[in-house]
Amino acid sequence: MSSAVGFVSRVYKIYNPPKAVSATQGGSARPLRFGILGAAQIAPAALIRPAVSHLEVEVYAVAARDRNKAQAFARKHGIPKVHGSYEELIADPDVDAIYNPLPNMLHFEWTMKALEAGKHVLLEKPAADTVEETKAMFELAEKKGLVLLEAFHYRFHPATQRVKAILDGGELGKVKHIKTVMTVPRAMFSAADIRFDYGLGGGAMMDMGCYTMNAIRYFSSSNPISILDVSHRAFQSLKASDTGKVDEEITASFSLPNDVTAKLTSDLRSPNVLGIIPRLPELDATIECEGGKIEVYNFVLPSLYHTITVTPRNGRVRREKVYTFKEGSLKGEPWWETYRYQLEAFVDKVKGRVPQAWITKEDTLANMEWIEKVYTEAGLGVRPKSAYVHRSSYLVA
């Protein structure tokens, strides 16, 4: 299939996924029922569309702070149940799992409440505002025997895993330097967006920066040792109290074990060319090795389109595109989004099966730790921790 036809057919199916035959019609166990906290913009891509083709999932309920908003969202997306508050949704006995796509600062409170109520949680990235909160969420999940996953969806896609397999396979020798870049044009998010609100856990390092940090750690199979350099461009906040606290762009360099270095850039407001022409988004990872390099175009949303360019120092350049796993035993379709692969793994974990890939507690904690370190080094300070105190007082010293 030519790549243009492949692209069109993939995108069509991403937006019009074939419906799985209902589990109840088939007489098997009832599907895992998800409730969504908030009528979030990301929910259709991250959960609602992927759920259509998953036999074992039902998006059963949504809650919003305003019932009318939840009702409109439910109508639009065919969600049967509506709740007028997050508390109500979490207390719903028919909900098995919560999808938490709230602003970062609210991740902790509502994940703790959901876990306390016995629900599994698919939690948007970054896990929380602080390492301390992240630790508390995982401790509670473990105590309750529940699944908690930080939604680094790109890690579940075969293209991402193919890049890692090339690196681990040794074809290019040892990794020497990793560069990860995520930039979007300045018109993409309004000045009022949650991403620029310090009190809600905003900032470029928290938002796209968390992926660039995660990818450095994943492709190097290690954590940084130290920060070599950090710089940022401050967001001119609408709120006087946020002045100087929110990074609209951030760049940080690291030293890693075995003489590896790395550099990340996250820019939520990439300046226009000549002041008027919006720049194209960049979502790239470059891994330089002793014996060549790999360049990944669109490492974050490879399901839409990507290229993996492998340049061995003494060999021919080749381009790979990987939409499904080679191993026939592993599930997937060319049109499965990163989020669909992620949902497969989440359900497998809940059902006690072995997921194809996973983001462990240690992985999530290390990512949050380095986000905090970058913020501290940049002089911006860590994002404000939640005022919510869980009754088992994990957070009280």
Ligand X SMILES: O=C1OC[C@@H](O)[C@H](O)[C@H]1O
Ligand Y SMILES: NC(=O)C1=CN([C@@H]2O[C@H](COP(=O)(O)OP(=O)(O)OC[C@H]3O[C@@H](n4cnc5c(N)ncnc54)[C@H](OP(=O)(O)O)[C@@H]3O)[C@@H](O)[C@H]2O)C=CC1
Binding residues for ligand X, rule: CB under 6 A, are: 184, 207-208
Structure tokens at 316: 């021919």
**153 binds ligand Y, rule: CB under 6 A:** yes
Residue 210: CB minimum distance to ligand X, A? 8
Site for ligand Y in 192-231 (CB under 6 A): 194, 200, 207
- From candidates 40, 121, 149, 262, binder to ligand Y by CB under 6 A: 40
Query: By CB under 6 A, is residue 101 in contact with ligand Y?
Result: yes
CA triplet 111, 113, 117: central angle to 5 degrees? Answer: 115
Interface with ligand Y (CB under 6 A), residue from 65, 174, 313, 319 = 65
Question: How does DSSP classify residue 302?
Answer: T
Is the preceding omega at residue 224 within 30 degrees of 0, hence cis? no
Extended strands (E) in the chain: 32-37, 57-63, 81-83, 97-100, 120-123, 148-150, 175-185, 226-234, 247-256, 260-270, 282-289, 292-297, 307-312, 318-320
Nearer to ligand Y, 288 or 344 (CB): 344
Q: Does 51 bind ligand Y (CB under 6 A)?
A: no
For residue 176, indicate whether it is catalytic: no
Segment near ligand Y (CB under 6 A), from 16-24, 61-69, 235-243, 264-272? Answer: 61-69
DSSP 8-state class, residue 153: G
Catalytic residue among 81, 113, 119, 125: 125
How large is the greatest C-alpha to C-alpha distance in the chain, in angstroms?
Answer: 62
Measured from the CB atom, is 208 or 260 closer to ligand X?
Answer: 208
Helix (H) or strand (E) holding 51: helix 49-52
Check residue 67 for interaction with ligand Y (CB under 6 A). no
3-class DSSP state for residue 251? strand
In the complex with ligand Y, which residue's Cβ is closer, 28 or 41? 41
Joined together, the tokens standing for residue 26 give 């088939």
Write the DSSP symbol of residue 225.
S
CB of 136 to ligand X, least distance (A): 23
Tell the smallest beta-carbon distance from residue 284 to ligand Y (Å): 17
Return d(Cα 314, Cα 312) in angstroms, integer: 5
Crossing angle (nearest 10°) for helices 209-220 and 158-169: 40
Stretch that binds ligand Y, among 101-109, 173-181, 276-284, 323-331 (CB under 6 A): 101-109
Residue type present at position 261: T
Least Å distance, CB 166 to ligand Y, is 24
Per CB under 6 A, the segment of 33-41, 130-138, 248-256, 323-331 that binds ligand Y is: 33-41
151 lines the binding site for ligand Y (CB under 6 A): yes
Which residues form the catalytic set? 125
| Residues lying near ligand Y in the complex (CB under 6 A) | 38-42, 46, 64-65, 69, 101-104, 106, 124-125, 151, 153, 194, 200, 207
